[in-house]
Structures are given as C-alpha cells and as structure tokens.
Amino acid sequence: MIISANVALTGSYDYSEVARSVFIAIAASYAALDLAGRVTAARGRIRLAWLGGGATAMGIGIWAMHFKGMLAFHLPVPVEYHWPTVLASLLMAILASAVALYVASRQKLGLVDALIGSITMGAGIAGLHYLCMAAMRLPASTSYSPLLVACSILLAILFSLIALLMAFGLREETRWSIPRRLGSATVMGLAVSAMHYTGMAAAHFIPTSPPDLSHAVSISPLANNGIAIVTLIVLVAASVTSSVDRRASGEVRQLNLDLERRVAERTLQLEAVNQALRREIAEREQAEEALRRSEDRLRLVIDTIPQQIWSSPPDGSLDFFNAQWLSFKGFTQEEMQGQGWQRTLHPDDRERVVRAWRESVAKGTPYEQEERHQGANGQYRWFLARGVPLRDSQGQIIRWYGTNTDIEDRKEAEGRLRLVIDTLPAMVWSKLPDGSADFLNQRFLEYTGLSLKEGLDWGWMFNAFHPEDRAEEEWRAAFAAGEPFEKEARLRRADGAYRWFLFRGVPQRDELGHVVKWYGTSTDIEDRRRAEEALLEAQDKLAHVTRTQAMGELAATIAHEVNQPLTAIVTNANFSLRQLKSSNPNLDELRAAITEIVNDGTRASAVISRIRGLLVTGSSRRTELEINEIIQDVITLLRNELTRNRVQLRTELAANLPRVQGDPVQLQQVLINLILNAIEAMRLSTEQPRKLVISSANNSDGVLVQVQDYGPGIEPERAKLIFEPFFTTKTEGIGMGLSISRSIIESHGGRLWNVPLSHGALFQFTLPSDRISD
Amino acid sequence: MVYVVDDDPSVRSAIKRLLESVGLQVELFGSAQEFVPGKTRPNVPSCLVVDIRLPGISGLDFQQELAKANVHIPIIFITGHGDVPMSVRAMKSGAVEFLTKPFRDQDLLDAIQLGLEKDRARRQREAEIAVLQERFESLTQREREVITMVVAGKLNKQIAAEIGTTENTVKVHRSRAMEKMQAQSLADLVRMVERLQVSVRTIL
C-alpha cells in the first residue's frame, strides 16, 4: 500500500491482474532461458534470427508483465496512456532482452561481461518500467521516492545478473533442464515482479489538472486481456518453436552422435585397416627395397665381376653387355647391341667369330671361341668367349648367356711358350703312341728343311735320319716299351750335312697307364759327341802310350834283368878266351870265370821264369764268376777301341753257362790281350768289314771261349812260336802277351790254343767249371 | 885306376877279372852312394864304369852329381836297355862312351883306355895350372896389376899413367913379375895368364 501525503491519491491493486502479470513474468523468464539455449546452439544467421526472435518474444513478455502490472494498479482517477511512450518502452524491453540473450549465449561468461550485461539489462528493464510510468496520463503528478527508485534499479540489475547467470548455466540441454528451467523461470519471474512492484511503490500521484490526453489511449479490459493473451501466445510460440527446434536439434544431435559414433567406429576400423595397409605398404616397400638392393647387388656383381658378361635373345642379336665389357670397349649399351658388338673384333677374327656365333645360334650348341677385341685404348686383347643357351621346359631357347674371359696373358704366355718352343736350341716334338709324329717344332723343320707334312708320321725318321741310323725296328720297340728313352741318331741338315742328335722321349699316360702321347726333344750332340770321341781317342792314345810305356819299362826291366847275367857271361867268356890265348894262362881265374858263366846262364833262365811268374800270379784273387759277364765287361772296356778301328763286333754268348772259379782281372787281361791282338791284326788289313766274333759255349771241361778275327791270320811256321816268351810279330810288342795269357789260363786249370785257319785267326780257351773241378 | 859301379856282383866281378887281366887297377862299388865323391883317391889317371840302372840314384843322375861336386872323372856308361835319348843325354854330359850290355870286351877296354888318357891329360893340365897359380900368387898386388894390363896389350906409359907411377917403375914391376912367372917371353906370359884367366879374374 502506498501511503503518501494526505493529498496523494491512493491506488489499489487488482490482484488477479497482479497474478496474471507474475505468470507472464514467469513465462517470459522461461522463454528467455529456453531461448538462450537456442541462441547458444545456433550459428550464423540462424543465431541472429533466434536472437532477434527471442529478444522480441522475451521483450514482449517483459513489457507485457510490466504493463499488466501497471494495469493492475488502479487509481481513483482515470488513467490513460500515451501510446508512443508505451511503444518506446516495448522497444526498450526488446533491446534489453536482446542484450541479455546475447550475453547469455556467449561461449564464455566472464565477470565483467556478466556485470556489463546485467547493468545493461537492468538499466533496460528499469528504463522500460519508468517509461511505462511516464506513459501514464492521469490527472495527477507523479513523484518518485528516490530511495525506492534506486532500490528498484539495483534490484533490476541484481535480478538481471541472476537471470543471466541462470540462463548461461541452463542453456545446455540436459536431462533436468526443463524442471530446472521452470524453477529458474519462477525465481526470475518473481524477481522481475518484485522489482516492478518496488518501482510502483516508489511512485506517488498527486492530483493535478487533467493531463494532456493527446496520443493517449485508455486501456480497456479487453485490450488489457488482449495484451496478456497476445503476449502469452508470443511466448508460447517462442517456447514451442524453441522446443521444436531443441528437439529437432536434439535429434539431429542424436543423429549426429550416432553418426559420429559410427564415423568414429568406421574411422577406427579404417584406422586399423590403414594401419595394416601402412604396415603392408611398409613391408612391401621394405621388400621392394630389399629386392632393389638385391638387384643392385646383382647388378653390381654383374658389373664389377672381372669378366665380360653378355646376353642375347634367341636370334643372336646381343642386347646386354655388362659394365666390364662396355668400359673395356668404350661403347655404350646401345652402340653394342644387335650386330654392334662385332665392331670391336679384330679384322682377322671377325669372319671366323661371326660364323661360329651364327652357327651356334642356328644349332643351339654352346659357343666357344678365342677372339681378339679392341679395347677403348685401341689395343687388342684375346678373350675366350663362351655362350650357353638357356632353354625353357620345351627345350626352346629363351636366351643366350655368355662371358668373355680375358686370356691375353695366357695367350701371351702361349705365344711366348710357342716362341720358346720354336726358338729354343732343341727340337721339340710330340708323337702318337706308335711313334708317328704329330708335332714338330720350327727348329726341327728349319734344321731338316722338311715341311711339317714331310716330317709327320714317320717322316721324321725316313726323311731326316742318316740311312745307317734308320733302325725302324729299334725305334718302334722303344715306343712300344712305353718307357722314357734316350736314343742317338744322325739327322740330315737342310744342306745335307749330318749331325748327331740325342732323342729323348717321355710318355704321357692316361689314368689307365696307357701311353697317349710322347713328348720329346732332339738335342744336337754333334759337338759333344765329337768332343767325347776326341776325348776317348785322347784317352785311348794316352792308354796306348801308357801301355807302350809300361811295356817299354817292362822290356827295360826284363832286358836289364836278363842282360846282367848275359853281360857277366859274355865278359867272363871273353876273359876266358883271352886267358886261353895267353901263353901263360891263369887257370884258377879261368876256372872261376867259367864257373861264373855257368852260374849266370842258370840265373838268366831263372830271371825269365821269375818275370813270367810275376806277371801271371801277381795278386791273384779267385772268385766264382760268369764268363759272359767278364766278356761283357771287356767289350764295354774296349767298345771305343772297336769303334775307333771300325771293327764290327758280334757276340754269340750261350745262356746257362756253368760258373767258373777265377780271377776276374786276370781273365779280363787274357780277353783284352786276345781282342787287342785281333784288332791290331786287322788294323793293317784293308779288307772290310773288320769283323770280330766273341762267343762262349758249353764244353765238356766247362766253358769254351772263342775270339775270332778276320785279319791276315797266322803263318803256319809262326803258329808254333806265338806262345813263346818274347816272340812277337809286332813292332811295339815284347812278345809276352800270349805267353802270359796261356800261363794265366793254365793257372786256372784251363787251356789256351790257336786253331789254324785259312783265313783270320781263332783263339780258344777253356775254363773248368766248378762242377768239373769238384 | 878304374872304378866300376854296378849293382850286379857277377857283372862287377867279371869286369874286374877282365880289366885286371890287362893290368888295370880296379875298384868295385855296388851303388853310386858307395862311391863318395869327396873321398881322397890315388892321384893317378882314373875313369868310371857306371851302369845306368842303379839302385838309388841312376847312373845319369850320378854323373850330374859328380859334375856338381867338380869331380871331372871320365865316365863310361854300360846299360842293359839303352835307348837313344838316354845315350844322347849321357854323351852330352861328357860321357866317354855308352855301351850296351852285353858289350864286347875290346869295346870296354878301348873306352877305358880313352878315358884314362883323357884323365891323364886333364890331370897334367890341372897340375900346370896349379904351378902357374902358385907363381901368380907369389906376385905382389902391383905386379899382378901390371902384368894383367900388359897382357891386355897396354903400353908401359899407359900403365904408369893409370896406376900413377913412372914408366921405369912399371918396367921394374914387369920384369920382376916375368921373372917370378918364369916366362921366357911376353908371348909366354900372355899364354900363362890366359890359362890362368878364370883364376886371375877371381883374384882381381
């Protein structure tokens, strides 16, 4: 109840109207809270529409509540309203609502924002209230209690702040948002009403003259209700719209959520799939990397292996060459392809190599050729080119793969070897197992002047050997024996001269031990042989001189030994003769002299016996021996003597001869003596050939040995004397040889004799065998 | 005196018997070593009969040794088996004869006679030289100088100038030297000095 001065008009409230105004306030509050959520949820133009629409609805609600409240205040005077001012208050209410919605719908609500918003809103509401008051046209002046005005303004601001905070807090849709919103709306509505009625309480109406009623209208109860109904419709419409929107937005959100969930699930699946895919991709990349590396390695191997590698399609047009090949030749892959590879071939090899390659390609047979290729430096080098076809399961050639191996060094070595073989001062040859030549080096051909064809097969013998040396049987036997051999033969030089050569052959065998080839050399030993012959001759001469000298010394000894007694004999005899001539001979001396003569004669005979005995029995050493061995030894000793005197020796030695006891040296002496006698006998003979036959045979006594020459023979009258000491037919002899020989043989229990022949001389001796002597 | 060197006793005794039968004195040796060159022997004409082949040193080597020892005794070689080079060597070394055993007795005797004759002549020559030597050694140093120059054909005046004295002094030395040398004439003196030549040279 507003009590003023007694002059003041007393107003009264229509409480149903008040209740309606409070309801409108609550509805407006609810709408405001609801709309704040919508504004917040909306974006862009829709947000602006919601803001505008919401502000209008809310402003109308607030204004309607105020206006209703005013209308509920009944004064005892008619009250009219100045409608432009009322309209202005409505606009102010809408503006204040817009501010409130704007602030409440912001993303964040800072304290400052809240304060500014609440002051603005509070000011707007207060302004609305007091504008409505100002619109009153009544015959009274209005005064205001400043305290209550301030109080109402503060309340407006305070309630605005609360409303903002509540609206901000409730704008999100939650399960409890509608009841909470209802609660909050009730609080807010009551607050707004409280503020309004506080403001109403601040006003005092003093009756005055009637007011200016221009532009004033009177609010009929119908209008009053109309306002309330319109306002409520607006509010309900706003709320419904908001609710629909909210639900729609809720469904949308639900849909969105489902969608998002599904999207999330799908994303997760996709993520997983992606992960797998990425892993797979990584693995593949790794594998590819590995493959690439492996390929790189292979390529590196192919390109760095010290071997030229190529390959070709089945048609033989080479299309791949490794780096070694290309870098050696200094061409690119493209330049070498097709027939390009032939350009580096040595002109001398080109035809052969190309033909061979074509043949291999045509027949599908492995290719192998030695060929020269020109390097980038212009030098030709030898290569061993090998190619093999790669075939598919049907046997069709898919590709050819090949290598070129540098064999320059080997070729060079071969060349050197060939040079060595052709220039070394020996003839080199190879022969088949039967001895027919299949290779003769240049030396051999140059020396003999034969062509290779003439020297092959057995031409090396028949076309080159000295006729006397063409002992085919012997040579064939040597090859047939399959053992390394050394043989000597004279080879005819191109100019016709003959020189002695030493043929050395070594067999090459297969794993079964069969001779597959002979390799050998023929070395010129002419000079060596000459030197040897000269040496042997010199040795012979020396031996001869020595023998002669020995004989001379022997002769001197014998002469001295024999001449001493002879001298004494002759001297004593002369003395005796002198005495006998004398008229008065000294008979004693004469007797003594003659006695000495007799003694010395006896002594001379003894000297000769002694010498013979000395020669025969000197250091005799008996052993059991094979006479054939003695004969062979002697032949060996005298071979050179025989050769030098061109004596052809034939031996006829019987096998299985009994062994004999003897002094090998003495028996050798006897044989040497007999053979040398034979050689000397034939030396003066012009008759050719000079033949000497030595034979051994079984004999009833033991063994019989014969030495037969074809010299001039022995005259019958001399035959009796030849065994006598000091009988000789030779200028150099002392006539002891046969005498001593006979003594030796006789000391062995055998006999030595001469068999008279019409032609030549034959000496025979026997030696008793052990069997006989036992 | 005949010295026989032969290793054969029969030969030695036969030769001794033969030589003694013709009145020669004979001494026998079995080897060269037995005949010692330095041994004093009767100063009578002598000769050696040596066998070439001797035990120890040979006859030819024996000949060399004697020559080295300045024993100038004539040598006759006898040998059982002589050859030409051997005999040439022996003869070159001054052998009187080279006889081959068995020899004719007369050949040996003739050779011995020749050898003895040679030795006799040598001995006489040596004796004469010894006398001349003795005479020459009786000369004073100055007299020797003077007669050496006289024999070389220098005039008294030249000799005086050379030895730094007067011609008369030279004449005195010369006549006294000729007296001591028992030279009858200048020619006689020249002959004497020539025979002494080797000795003179040694002295000067």
* DSSP character string of A378-420: S-EEEEEEEEEEEE-TTS-EEEEEEEEEE-HHHHHHHHHHHHH
**Measured between CB atoms, does A554 come within 8 Å of chain B?**
no
**Measured between CB atoms, does A563 come within 8 Å of chain B?**
yes
pLDDT score recorded for residue A704: 92
Chain A residues with CB inside 8 Å of B103's CB? 567, 570-571
* Alpha-helical regions (H) of A144-220: 146-170, 177-201
End-to-end CA distance of chain A, in Å? Answer: 196
Select the residue of A556, A569, A571 nearest B15 (Cβ to Cβ): A571
- Higher pLDDT, residue A770 or B43: B43
Select the residue of B14, B78, B105 nearest A596 (Cβ to Cβ): B14
Rounded CA gap, A159 and A184, in Å?
A: 12
pLDDT score recorded for residue B48: 92
Q: Which of A186-190, A333-337, A579-583 has the lowest mean pLDDT?
A: A186-190
Rounded CA gap, A88 and A94, in Å?
A: 10
Select the residue of B14, B17, B101 nearest A563 (Cβ to Cβ): B101
pLDDT score recorded for residue B120: 92
- Interchain proximity A567–B104, CB inside 8 Å: no
pLDDT score recorded for residue A549: 60
pLDDT score recorded for residue A645: 80
CA nearest to B82 within chain A: A556
Which helix (H) or strand (E) element contains residue B30? none
pLDDT band at A539 (very low <50, low <70, confident <90, very high): low
- Interchain proximity A564–B8, CB inside 8 Å: yes
Angle, CA of A57, A60 and A65, to the nearest 5°: 125
pLDDT band at A740 (very low <50, low <70, confident <90, very high): confident
- Interchain proximity B10–A560, CB inside 8 Å: no
Q: Output the six-digit token pair for A300.
A: 């590196």
Which residues have C-beta within 8 Å of that of residue A723, sequence separation ≥ 6? A738, A739, A742, A752, A754
Q: Contact A19/A65 with Cβ under 8 angstroms? A: no
Among A181, A190, A121, residue whose Cα is nearest residue A153: A121
Backbone φ and ψ of A61, nearest 5° = -60, -50
- Distance from the Cα of B176 to chain A's closest Cα (Å) equals 59
- Distance from the Cα of A571 to chain B's closest Cα (Å) equals 6
* Alpha-helical regions (H) of A684-769: 716-719, 737-747
Cis peptide before A221 (omega within 30 of 0): no
pLDDT in tens, A718-734: 777 777 655 666 655 55
- Interchain proximity B102–A569, CB inside 8 Å: yes
- Interchain proximity A568–B8, CB inside 8 Å: yes
* Alpha-helical regions (H) of chain B: 9-21, 59-68, 84-92, 105-138, 141-151, 156-163, 167-181, 186-195, 197-203
Residue B114 has pLDDT above 90, yes or no: yes
- Interchain proximity A578–B80, CB inside 8 Å: no
Rounded CA gap, A202 and A149, in Å?
A: 6
Chain B residues with CB inside 8 Å of A564's CB? 8, 10-11, 80, 101
Question: How far lies B156's CA from each of A310, A397, B163, B204, in Å?
Answer: 128, 140, 11, 20
**Measured between CB atoms, does B105 come within 8 Å of chain A?**
yes
Residue A712 has pLDDT above 60, yes or no: yes
Q: How many Cβ pairs within 8 Å bridge chains A and B?
A: 80
pLDDT score recorded for residue B19: 92
Q: Could you count the other beta carbons within 10 Å of the beta carbon of residue A233? A: 11
pLDDT score recorded for residue A172: 66
pLDDT score recorded for residue B112: 94
DSSP 8-state class, residue B4: E
Q: What is the mean pLDDT of residues A538-562?
A: 66
- Interchain proximity B14–A586, CB inside 8 Å: no
**Measured between CB atoms, does A75 come within 8 Å of chain B?**
no
Helix (H, G, I), strand (E, B) or coil at A113: helix
CA nearest to B83 within chain A: A556
Residue A533: how many CA atoms within 13 Å on its side-chain side?
A: 10
Amino acid sitting at position B43: N
- Distance from the Cα of B103 to chain A's closest Cα (Å) equals 7
Rounded CA gap, A708 and B84, in Å?
A: 38
Q: Could you count the other beta carbons within 10 Å of the beta carbon of residue A346? A: 15
- Distance from the Cα of B179 to chain A's closest Cα (Å) equals 55
Select the residue of A569, A570, A593 nearest B17 (Cβ to Cβ): A593
pLDDT in tens, B168-201: 988 898 888 888 888 888 888 888 888 777 544 4
pLDDT score recorded for residue A597: 92
Q: Which residue has the tokens 């007369």?
A: B106
pLDDT score recorded for residue A705: 94
Rounded CA gap, A732 and A127, in Å?
A: 187
- Distance from the Cα of A703 to chain B's closest Cα (Å) equals 42
pLDDT score recorded for residue A421: 78
Residue B96 has pLDDT above 50, yes or no: yes
Residue A743: how many CA atoms within 13 Å on its side-chain side?
A: 19
**Measured between CB atoms, does A556 come within 8 Å of chain B?**
yes
Helices first, then strands: H and E counts in chain A: 22, 24
pLDDT in tens, B32-42: 888 876 677 78
Which residues have C-beta within 8 Å of that of residue A474, sequence separation ≥ 6? A487
pLDDT score recorded for residue A534: 77
pLDDT score recorded for residue A703: 92
Q: Output the six-digit token pair for A248.
A: 């729609």
Q: Output the six-digit token pair for A377.
A: 């430096």
pLDDT score recorded for residue A7: 57
Residue A463 has pLDDT above 90, yes or no: no
- Distance from the Cα of A554 to chain B's closest Cα (Å) equals 11
pLDDT in tens, A588-612: 889 999 998 998 888 888 777 766 6
Identify the residue among A551, A566, A567 best suited for mutation to test binding to B, counting B beta carbons within 10 A and taking the highest. Answer: A567
Chain A residues with CB inside 8 Å of B108's CB? 571
- Interchain proximity B17–A562, CB inside 8 Å: no
Residue A684 has pLDDT above 60, yes or no: yes
pLDDT band at A537 (very low <50, low <70, confident <90, very high): confident
CA nearest to A580 within chain B: B21
Residue B116 has pLDDT above 90, yes or no: yes
Rounded CA gap, A162 and A90, in Å?
A: 22
Q: Which of A12-26, A120-134, A660-674, A678-692 has the highest mean pLDDT?
A: A660-674
Residue A617 has pLDDT above 60, yes or no: no
Angle, CA of A291, A292 and A296, to the nearest 5°: 115
**Measured between CB atoms, does A564 come within 8 Å of chain B?**
yes
Q: What is the mean pLDDT of residues B73-101?
A: 83
pLDDT score recorded for residue A548: 62
- Interchain proximity A578–B53, CB inside 8 Å: no
Strands A320-321 and A367-374: unpaired
Q: Contact A328/A347 with Cβ under 8 angstroms? A: no
Identify the residue among B77, B99, B100, B101 best suited for mutation to test binding to A, counting A beta carbons within 10 A and taking the highest. Answer: B101
**How is A629-659 classified by DSSP, letter by letter?**
HHHHHHHHHHHHHHHHTTEEEEEEEPSSPPP
Chain B residues with CB inside 8 Å of A566's CB? 101-102
pLDDT score recorded for residue A724: 67
Rounded CA gap, B164 and B145, in Å?
A: 12
**Measured between CB atoms, does B15 come within 8 Å of chain A?**
yes
**How is A118-149 classified by DSSP, letter by letter?**
HHHHHHHHHHHHHHHHHTEE-SEEEEE-HHHH
CA nearest to A574 within chain B: B105
Q: What is the mean pLDDT of residues A384-413?
A: 87
pLDDT in tens, A423-460: 777 788 888 888 888 888 888 888 888 888 888 888 88
Helix (H, G, I), strand (E, B) or coil at A748: coil
**Measured between CB atoms, does A611 come within 8 Å of chain B?**
no
- Interchain proximity B10–A603, CB inside 8 Å: yes
Chain A residues with CB inside 8 Å of B55's CB? none
Q: Output the six-digit token pair for A264.
A: 């999330």
CA of residue A413 relative to chain centroid, distance: 26
Strands B47-51 and B2-5: parallel
Which residues have C-beta within 8 Å of that of residue B133, sequence separation ≥ 6? B196, B199
**Measured between CB atoms, does B8 come within 8 Å of chain A?**
yes
Among A325, A329, A311, residue whose Cα is nearest residue A376: A329
| Average predicted confidence (pLDDT) for chain A | 80
Q: Output the six-digit token pair for B78.
A: 């006898």
Residue A354 has pLDDT above 80, yes or no: yes
CA nearest to B101 within chain A: A567
- Interchain proximity B80–A579, CB inside 8 Å: no
CA nearest to B6 within chain A: A564
- Interchain proximity A570–B102, CB inside 8 Å: yes
pLDDT band at B203 (very low <50, low <70, confident <90, very high): very low
Residue A614 has pLDDT above 70, yes or no: no
- Interchain proximity B17–A592, CB inside 8 Å: yes
Which residues have C-beta within 8 Å of that of residue A223, sequence separation ≥ 6? none
Q: What is the mean pLDDT of residues B62-83?
A: 84
pLDDT score recorded for residue A772: 44
Q: Which of A234-238, A543-547, A554-558, B181-185 has the lowest mean pLDDT?
A: A543-547
Q: Which of A208-217, A286-295, B171-180 has the highest mean pLDDT?
A: B171-180
**Measured between CB atoms, does A432 come within 8 Å of chain B?**
no
Q: What is the pTM of this model?
A: 0.35
Q: Is the four-CA dihedral A85, A90, A94, A97 of positive or negative sign?
A: positive
pLDDT band at B17 (very low <50, low <70, confident <90, very high): very high
**Measured between CB atoms, does B41 come within 8 Å of chain A?**
no
Q: What is the mean pLDDT of residues A330-346?
A: 84
- Interchain proximity B80–A560, CB inside 8 Å: yes
